[in-house]
A and B are shown apart, each in its own frame.
Chain A
Amino acid sequence: MIDSNDIIEKLEKRLRTFGQEPKMQNVGKIEKITDEVVIASGLSLVKMGEIVLFKNGAEGVILNLAEDNVSIIVLSPTEDLREGDTVKSSGRMLGINASKELLGRVVDPRGNPLDGKSKIKQGTLMPLEHIAPGVVEREPVNTPLKTGIKAIDGMVPVGRGQRELIIGDRGLGKSAIAIDTIINQRQAGKNQKEVICIYVSIGQKQSRTAQVISKFKEEGAMDYTIVVAADSSDPASLQYLAPFAGSAIAEYFMNQGLDVLIAYDDLTKHAWAYRELSLILRRPAGREAYPGDIFYLHSRLLERAVKLNKKNGGGSITALPIIETQADDISAYIPTNVISITDGQIYLKAELFNLGMRPAIDVGNSVSRVGGAAQTGAMKSVASQLRLELAQYRELAVFAQFGSELDPTTAASLERGRRTTEILKQPQYQPLEEPLEVLSLFAVENGFLDDLPIESIAQFEKEYHDYVKIHYKKIIDKLKTGEKINEETSKQIKSATAEFKKIFTSGKK
């Protein structure tokens, strides 16, 4: 309940500082309106990125400063604006109000609620454009961010503070990886520092964004997630600002020492929106009609994902940018730009998707430049050889197609590879806790699945997890610590696995 004394105190404070506010305003006149861009004369004292106010209450932001005029992108529909209307400078730079109240909310890049709930109360005004922390303020990535996806946590691990690109053609499950990672953070608070999640929807269909939000609510992920949405029906200006708004909110939480995960879905549409604005602003078009600073657009955004050292709070922002390719072409302009910026990529291939391998991660072309530093000891124990084994399997699989006779060792490697591939398959919206991931990979690495039919592996895995959770809780607790699997733990897991396998196979007969 609002105390009337508080209100009076605030008003009195305002009155005391009242005379100190500048009474000078810089004004201009609209000369031209082109789509979402307004060209105005005057406004000689405005700064780049400053907010300006139109007669109808709409806001715009300065994007071009020329000798005689300024170009303003309007952040709301331009139907009410006319040539000759006055436009005033506000003295404010573009920012978004950030506070803990944003958790569980869906907002637009200006911070206006889109979920039908009350307006977000005054928080800290975070600038949308902000220079990334310098080298001295950072420390190397050393804490895992668990996605709950076996293939990623095992072979392409992501750490807190890393930028890991998710790249692939449309419909291969790029957003699914980001969504599963967000859902998996509900586990984070239990054993490690909790992770605040931000999902930035750029240029997507509203129905799709609604579906994603609904899934977050269903899985209980909305409690720690913020959705920033600029859908396909929104002006290009809002789509351009959306990732920066998400980043600004992430910085608010990071400055409090928290870890944040931000997914940009997707930066291809962000590049399109920026190209649209730049062409309207008559900036010179370069390759594929993108403006010359398209690289800088994404590099300055992604550089804000950082792991701060303890002296600066120890918080982090982990970025999962998504890029959509056309016909598996990762050598196109925007994909190569973003690949060179990020600390690794998760490459999804259509061929694998069509073969039923989901998530369709091409392990050969996927990489995490942080690597083992983002893995726990337990995961390293079981996953260290995985990538190599799969690479060998892929090589051997080519020869097996010719139907030639294979020696027993090669045949065994092939069978092991098939089972490893099978165990790495995972249904959508079912991220796993790390202990269960470790158990699955342990089982396949130690040959427990070698004599099982491939079609029964999925069922085996499910029942195996349930069995260990019920009968060998101590193993789960040990694996939760993340410590390297010692001999004793290894024996226990082997014993439990063998025991379950006996039950499983006898039940199957």
Chain B
Amino acid sequence: MNKKTLKKLITISITKNSLDPKKVEKIANVLSQKELKEYVRAIRDWEQRKKVVIISPKALTRDVINKFKKMFVDKKVINNIDPSLVVGLKIINNDLVYDLSFKNTLKNLTNASQGTL
């Protein structure tokens, strides 16, 4: 299946900016195994591009989430909790990761000192 066809299939699968389960089911039924694999990968990529994951040690307030929504227009903002970050945030926007957590700072500091010594 070429990229153009895949793009068309994805466009058909979406209703009101989210995946339509009935349409996805219909499309999946007519695809071969290899084509289905490519289709699933394309849907996953599309989902990935449509969302921004904000990982924080505690749940973010509505105000903060709204600020992120203004920053990432047309994207769905999802807040995941990971207490091991201690303080700070980790933002995953498709293939870009902004790690502003204390955990990452400590890790970098450890790596840097090992490199120095």
Contact = CB atoms under 8 A, between A and B. Distances in A.
B5 to A, nearest CB: 14
Consensus secondary structure, chain B interface: helix
Given A7-B117, A23-B104, A41-B45, A14 B112 contact: yes
Contacts of B100: 23
A11 B45 contact: no
A88 B113 CA distance: 21
Contacts of B113: 11, 14
B84 interface: no
A38 to B, nearest CB: 15
Interface string A22-36: 011111100100000
A217 interface: no
A21 B104 CA distance: 12
Given A18-B109, A21-B108, A41-B45, A26 B116 contact: no
Contacts of A41: 41, 45
A10 interface: yes
Interface stretch (B10-18, B24-32, B61-69, B91-99): B91-99
Interface in A39-54: 41-45
Contact of B116 (A7, A24, A44): A7
B4 to A, nearest CB: 12
Contacts of B112: 14, 18
Contact of B95 (A7, A21, A44, A122): A44
A26 B99 contact: no
Most buried by A among B45, B96, B99: B96
B97 A24 contact: yes
A111 to B, nearest CB: 14
Nearest to B48: A42
A249 B113 CA distance: 26
A10 B108 contact: no
Given A23-B104, A41-B45, A42-B94, A11 B116 contact: yes
Interface string B14-56: 0000000000000000000000000001000100000000000
Contacts of B98: 23-24
A364 B19 CA distance: 75
Given A18-B109, A23-B100, A42 B116 contact: no
A26 B96 contact: yes
Contact of A27 (B95, B108, B117): B95
A188 to B, nearest CB: 36
Contacts of B96: 24-27, 45
B97 A27 contact: yes
Contacts of A28: 95
Contacts of B115: 122
Contacts of B104: 23
A42 B108 contact: no
Contacts of A25: 96-97, 99
B106 to A, nearest CB: 11
Nearest to B100: A23
Given A25-B96, A41-B45, 18 more contacts: A7-B116, A11-B113, A11-B116, A14-B112, A14-B113, A14-B116, A23-B98, A23-B104, A24-B97, A25-B99, A27-B96, A28-B95, A31-B41, A41-B41, A42-B94, A43-B95, A44-B95, A67-B3
24 contacts: A7-B116, A7-B117, A11-B113, A11-B116, A15-B109, A23-B98, A23-B100, A24-B96, A24-B97, A25-B96, A25-B99, A26-B95, A26-B97, A27-B95, A27-B96, A28-B95, A41-B45, A42-B95, A44-B94, A44-B95, A45-B96, A68-B3, A88-B97, A122-B115
Interface of A: 7, 10-11, 14-15, 18, 21, 23-28, 31, 41-45, 67-68, 88, 122
Top-7 shortest CB links A-B: A42-B95, A10-B116, A25-B97, A14-B112, A24-B98, A27-B97, A44-B95
